Structure formats: structure tokens, C-alpha cells
Amino acid sequence: MGRALKLPAGATPGGTRHAAPAAVAAAAIAIAVFQGALAYGFSQDDFLGLGRALGLAPRLTGWWRPLSHQWFYDALVATAGLHARSFHAVSLAIHALAAALLGALLARRFAAPAALAGAAFFAAHAALYTAVYWIAANGDLLATLLALAATACFFGVPPRLRWLALPCFALSLLAKESTLSLPFAIAALAAWGPPPRRPVRALGRDPVWLGLVALSVAGLAAFALRDPFAARAAADANLAYALAPAALGRNLLTYGGWTANTWLPTVAGFGDAVDPRVFGWARWLAVTILAGAFVPALRARGWIACWAGFALMLLPVLPLANHTYHYYLAPALPFAAAALAAALDAAFNAARSRPAFDATRARPAIGWVVAAAIAGCFAVNGVVLVHKIESMPLTPQVPALRSDPTVDRARIASNAVAALAAAGLPAHASITFWSPASVVIERERVGPAFDPALETYWERNVRAALLDGFAVRVMVPAIDSTRFVHVFSATPDSARWAVYRPDGTLDVMTAREIAAKLAAAR
């Protein structure tokens, strides 16, 4: 495997003895920041995963995300039923485990206080908000956790455990293909990362690393052959996963900006799209990375390799022309956290080497106090920022709606499902959704420009939250069919109408009852 290089002068990695405090603290911070997810129900694509597990939708075949989109739902439906809190708890636990594993990994290469602060950065980062709050995004959390596990095994002790890196990486790809470039990020860490290191030529003779590369190539082939990821995606800009070389620069600036700008006073919005507002943050981050490359203490601690790994882990998503999402940062953020730990490790070591600290028995305590203060800042900022994101109202016209679509549509779906479940529907019920309240709100909002023939945003939003009615078929067994209409029309008394409002609350009526109310209102 080649000669391992010595640690840089003054470096004091925590090792296994000090890994536990960093791991436990990172997990606790992750739970504290994102525990609000436990209060919400299922949202949007969650119902499709539930439907696959219940046999109401076709099961996934092949090797495209079966772990996150099929097996995850199979296991939880079998053990927890249709209780959203259990699903959210598992997603939150996955993120907490990833934060704990990262803390333990960093403590093996850096001083434990620096490892704690770096892991806290990852644990509390608001870019992971949707991945934790939206059950359907569990793939990003699983892929990240399993990629970290593969990295831990590759660099693990005893050496026989290194082979476990292969199944961990394979499962990561089965959760989400965004970790395809992990073998090359691992190579950067092995050759230029925090010591001990390995010569580059040794990787070419390492069967474990070669196995990781083979899995990456196989995953890329499966990814490329699956529609709509075929070659035509590069030419058709209208496809959901269209590829475009022009997207590379904009996406990199956006992801870099989101990584650096995670602070409550400076985050101006949380939309998932190319975000020119954070390009300045990305440029300052690039300047910081470049400047750090000229600092010997940072180079010795793997500064360049950490940021190379960050860029490599973003590479699979950078060409996507229509998908620039915060949670796509999940696999790359641990590398940014490692760079932060490297910087703090160098700073702590520089402080310890000052004459004023010579022979001071309190030196380790000072490092822990500083690291705890930094981690506490990350945690408090994360708690407040995440709460702001999830509670921001959408519009004064409907105060109950939230600006974040994941939370907004989870609340809408919960309201609608609860009302329909309590309505005492007959078996094999057919439900027609209609929203005169949405039309009234839109008329008042638009004024003379209002077109009564057009479906309003409020109707589209509820329809999206309920997946065109599939959500209520999953959650209310008595319902066999659904439809959404913009205009009321007479139907047999056996049919039921869900007269809904923009927040998903609704009344269940027959067409005869609705007609009587309309006549009385004239």
C-alpha cells in the first residue's frame, strides 16, 4: 500500500478515545436542529413511495434508487404502518448517524475539538433541511451516510474491514447515484488528505479502491441507460434531468454560495433554483480556498484534498440544467466540514505553540471550550434558521399556507386526509375535489384581470399536495377513485364531493347538498 506519511508537526488527532464526544455531540446537534420534521405528515412524492409498498402503484424494477424509493418504504410500512412520525424519525436518525460518523472520522485525523466543530457544521447545515423534512428525499441522507461508511471502511483499522467499503458504496449508489464520484474523492484524501497518506501509485494496486471504481463505472452505466437519463437528455432542455454544459458554472457558484451562506441574518430565501444572490459568497469561498492552499499548516492537514473532494462529490449534479437543489449538497458537505476541521486544527495547534501557553495544563480544556462555542453557534443558528424556513408564510391572502413547499403540502395533505377519514365514506367511494373558495381568493387577488376559466394557483397547489388525489387513495382505504374539477356539475347522490379550501381543509357533501347551498346563496 505504500509508505504512510507522518502527521504534520504539532498535529494531535483525537483517535478512538476522543471520537465518542465528537460523534455524540454532532448527533445531538443534528437532532436539535431538525427535530421539527417530526411534527409533519407525508408530503407529495411520499405518497408514491407508500403506494408502491401497498401495491397501489407499480413497484420499482432495476437498479435505479431501489433502496430509497422502494425498500425503505417496504420496511417502514411493514413495521410502522402509515404513521408519518415514524418515517420522519428514521430520516432524522439517518442524518444524526451520518453526523456522528463524520465526527468520529474527523477525530481520527484532527484534534477532537476541531473534529467536533467540523461535524457540527455538517450536522446543523440548513441546506439539509428538505432532505430531513421530506421523506421522499431520504435517498440523499442514505447515500451520504453510506458514503461516509464506505470512506470509514476504506481508511479503517483493522485492514480486513476495508473490504466492507464495497458493499457500503454499492448501497450508497442504490440509494442515490449522486455519490458516483466517491472513489475519486477517496483517492484525493488518500494521496493528499490529512495524514497518514499513501502514494498515488499505490492506489492503482489497491484492490479495494479498484473495486470502488468498478462499482462507480457500473453505477454510471445504469444511470445513463435509464430513461430520462439517456443521451437525449443532453439535447432536450425540456426534460426534467436535462444536461447542459452551460449549467456547470451557475450550479457550482450556487452550491458554493449555499455552502458558505448558511447564516440566519444573510439567508434571503430558500428556493431550489440557481441563486445569483449567493454567487458573491461562492467567490469569497473560492478566494479562501485558494489562499489556504498557500498555508503550509493547512496543506499538511489535507486542505486541498478536502476541497477537491467537495468539488468531486458535486460533479454528478453540476450538469443538471433544471435541478439545482439544496439537498444535492448532502454528499459534498462532509468534505467542507473536514476542511473546516483542518483549519481549526491548525489554529488550535498554532495557539498551543505560543509561549504564553507553555506548561499550561488547561490547554486541552481551552480547545474544547472554543470548539464547543463554535459548535453551539452552528447549532443555535441552525435551529433558528430551520424554524424560519419551515414557518415562513406564503401569502397574506391565506395565512395558513407556508412558503416552503414541503411543509406547506404536508400540512395540506394532512388536513385533507383527516377530513376524509372522519367523513364516514362508504366503501369504494368516488371523490370529486372542487374549490370555490380558491376561485374567490384568486378573484380578489387578481382583480379585473381574473379569468374564471383558468385553474388557480391554490387549486394546483392542493392537487400537487395530493398527487392528483392518489394521496387520499393511499391514506383512506374507502376511496377508490378521485378527480379534480374547476366547475361544479351535477353527479349521482352516490358520489361524494370534497369542497376544499387552499389549506386542504374540506367538507364532504353530495351534489344535491351543494346545489341546495348554491341556490340558497343566490
DSSP track, 176-237: -GGGTTHHHHHHHHHHHSSSS---HHHHTT-HHHHHHHHHHHHHHHHHHHSTTSSGGGGT-T
- Does residue 5 form part of some domain? no
One domain, residues 98 and 229: yes
Q: Are 103 and 119 in contact (CB under 8 A)?
A: yes
Q: Which three cell numbers stand for residue 515?
A: 346545489
One domain, residues 251 and 186: yes
CB atoms within 10 A of CB 9: 10
Q: Which residues pair with 431 in a beta bridge?
A: 482, 496
pLDDT at 231: 46
CB atoms within 10 A of CB 288: 14
Residue 495 banded pLDDT, cuts 50, 70, 90: confident
Decide which of 392, 425, 446 is a domain's last residue: 392
Share of the chain above pLDDT 70, in %: 91
Which DSSP symbol is given to 480?
A: E
Q: Which residues pair with 393 in a beta bridge?
A: 402
pLDDT at 9: 39
User: If we measure between CA atoms, which residue out of 330, 334, 312 comes closest to residue 142?
Assistant: 330
Q: Are 117 and 335 in contact (CB under 8 A)?
A: no
pLDDT at 348: 85
One domain, residues 311 and 193: yes
One domain, residues 165 and 253: yes
Name residue 342's amino acid: A
d(CA 308, CA 459): 46
Residue 355 banded pLDDT, cuts 50, 70, 90: low
One domain, residues 353 and 251: yes
Tell me the mean pLDDT in the region 464-482: 95
pLDDT in tens, 303-351: 999 999 999 999 999 998 888 999 999 999 999 999 999 999 998 887 7
- Does residue 441 form part of some domain? yes
Domain extent for 26: 17-392
pLDDT at 239: 65
pLDDT in tens, 374-415: 999 999 999 999 999 999 998 888 889 999 999 999 999 999
- On the CB side of 425, CA atoms within 13 Å amount to 28
DSSP string, 112-147: HHHHHHHHHHHHT-GGGHHHHH-GGGHHHHHHHHHH
Q: Are 445 and 397 in contact (CB under 8 A)?
A: yes
Which DSSP symbol is given to 487?
A: S
One domain, residues 339 and 410: no
At residue 482, what are phi and psi to the nearest 5 degrees?
-145, 160
- For residue 449, pLDDT beyond 90: no
- For residue 140, pLDDT beyond 90: yes
- Does residue 451 form part of some domain? yes
Q: Cα dihedral sign for 166, 168, 174, 178? A: negative
Q: Which residues pair with 402 in a beta bridge?
A: 393
Segment (H or E) for 400: strand 398-402
- For residue 6, pLDDT beyond 50: no
* Lowest mean pLDDT, pick from 6-10, 115-119, 435-439, 514-518: 6-10
At residue 506, what are phi and psi to the nearest 5 degrees?
-160, 165
* Lowest mean pLDDT, pick from 180-194, 285-299, 358-372, 463-477: 358-372
Please report, for residues 84, 102, 104, 162, 168, the alpha-carbon distance to residue 173 in angstroms, rounded to integers and kept in the order given: 25, 19, 23, 18, 9
- Reduced 3-state DSSP string for 78-116: HHHCCCHHHHHHHHHHHHHHHHHHHHHHHHHHCCHHHHH
Q: At what angle do helices 303-314 and 279-292 cross, to 10 degrees?
A: 140
- For residue 291, pLDDT beyond 80: yes
Residue 246 banded pLDDT, cuts 50, 70, 90: confident
Segment (H or E) for 381: helix 363-391
- Does residue 167 form part of some domain? yes
Residue 221 banded pLDDT, cuts 50, 70, 90: confident
One domain, residues 380 and 445: no
Which DSSP symbol is given to 433?
A: E
User: If we measure between CA atoms, which residue out of 102, 100, 99 comes closest to residue 110?
Assistant: 102
Q: Are 33 and 132 in contact (CB under 8 A)?
A: no
Tell me the mean pLDDT in the region 212-227: 83
* Lowest mean pLDDT, pick from 62-71, 131-140, 242-251, 337-346: 242-251
Decide which of 327, 361, 392 is a domain's last residue: 392
Tell me the mean pLDDT in the region 142-160: 90
Residue 158 banded pLDDT, cuts 50, 70, 90: confident
Can you state the percent helix, strand and coil of the chain, rounding each to 5?
65, 5, 30
- Does residue 1 form part of some domain? no
Q: Are 215 and 293 in contact (CB under 8 A)?
A: no
pLDDT at 494: 77
Q: Which three cell numbers stand for residue 151?
A: 470512506
- Does residue 315 form part of some domain? yes
- On the CB side of 317, CA atoms within 13 Å amount to 28
One domain, residues 282 and 334: yes
User: If we measure between CA atoms, which residue out of 228, 279, 235, 233 comes closest to residue 253?
Assistant: 279
**Angle 24-30-36 (CA atoms, 0-180°, nearest 5)?**
135
- Reduced 3-state DSSP string for 280-333: HHHHHHHHHHHHHCCCHHHHHCCHHHHHHHHHHHHHHHCCECCCCCHHHHCCCH
User: If we measure between CA atoms, which residue out of 253, 275, 181 comes closest to residue 220?
Assistant: 181
Residues 6+ apart with CB under 8 A from 514: 488, 497, 499
Q: Which three cell numbers stand for residue 287?
A: 478566494
pLDDT at 102: 97
Q: How many domains does the chain have?
A: 2
Q: Across the chain, what does the average pLDDT equal? A: 89
One domain, residues 385 and 514: no
pLDDT in tens, 358-371: 544 445 677 788 89
Please report, for residues 133, 244, 476, the alpha-carbon distance to residue 47 in angstroms, rounded to integers and kept in the order given: 15, 31, 12
- For residue 26, pLDDT beyond 90: yes
pLDDT at 468: 95
One domain, residues 349 and 474: no
pLDDT at 293: 95
- For residue 2, pLDDT beyond 50: no
Decide which of 364, 392, 420 is a domain's last residue: 392
d(CA 377, CA 519): 60
- For residue 519, pLDDT beyond 90: no
- Does residue 12 form part of some domain? no
One domain, residues 387 and 453: no
Start-to-end CA distance of the chain, whole Å, equals 85
One domain, residues 408 and 376: no
- Does residue 513 form part of some domain? yes
